[in-house]
Amino acid sequence: MTGRPLIGVTGRRKRGDQLVGNIAILADFAVDVFYADYGRGVLEAGGVPVFLPIDVDPVDFMDHLDGVLLTGGADIDPARYGHESQTDAFPPEPLRDDHECAVLQAAIDLSLPTVGICRGLQLINVHAGGTLHQDVPAHAGFDHPTAKEWHGVSFESGSVLAGIYTDDRRVNSLHHQTVDRLGAGLRATAFAEDASIEGLEHESLPIVAVQWHPEMLPGRPDDPLFAWLVEAAAERS
Ligand SMILES: [Mn+2]
């Protein structure tokens, strides 16, 4: 036992032929992919990342975890919030949607500290009954360096996120969707200059999410969001 809190980290399902350099006979095999920087952020904050297998029912691992990190990735299937799809830029991965909704529901049932990043924020909103703007080019900075902090974010005073980040800041922006209608029990507590929602939190549960990517920024080892997650998880464990 290390005593370090265990933070479950979600990934995505790919096929062997989507991996550069994989051999042809493995083309049809399923591969689970986890961007290492999320796990590094958890490690640097004092936790241990646990990459969650997509095929396992969360009921079988959630009560071993102390916290959860819902990560970035493809668009959530708009059918989940009752809308027709308006974009095929990042096609939905329904298996992952199912898995992460089950992980989030289990985290809610256990009051586990939970952080959402990018798609993770959007998943928290959709799971709570909210909707998304499906294509917002002004935030899709896919041509910028990933560490370039090119738009501002301001925080609602008195919110959990304002307590975590203290001051307004500049952030990177690698998302083409944003929150439209907020889900039940959620508060929008961080905003870009154009009023897009950049952060939200739950009114009563330890759930916080941001739309930018702190795991890609050079300040990651000292990022207060990873610290909040690991500290909240440690208090619980
Ligand atoms: Mn943005």
CATH code for the domain in which residue 167 is found: 3.40.50.880
Q: What is the pLDDT of residue 2?
A: 58
As annotated, the active-site residues are: 118, 213, 215
The first and second tokens of residue 181, run together, are: 């209608």
Residue 109 lies in a domain: yes
Residue 57 within a domain: yes
CA atoms within 13 A on the CB side of 116: 28
* The pair of three-digit structure tokens given for residue 158, joined into one six-digit string: 């008195």
Does 193 map to a domain? yes
Please indicate, yes or no, if residue 1 is contained in any of the structural domains. no
CA 171 to ligand 1 centroid distance, Å: 7
Domain residues for the domain of 116 are: 6-236
Query: pTM of the predicted model, to two decimals?
Result: 0.97
Residue 27 lies in a domain: yes
Tens-digit pLDDT profile for residues 8-65:
999 999 999 999 898 999 999 999 999 999 999 999 999 999 999 999 999 999 999 9
Cα 62 to middle of ligand 1, angstroms: 31
Between the CA of 194 and the centroid of ligand 1 the distance, in Å, is: 9
pLDDT tens digits along 89-100: 999 999 999 999
Alpha helices in 62-180 (DSSP H): 94-110, 119-127, 160-165
Residue 82 in any domain: the answer is yes
Domain count, the chain: 1
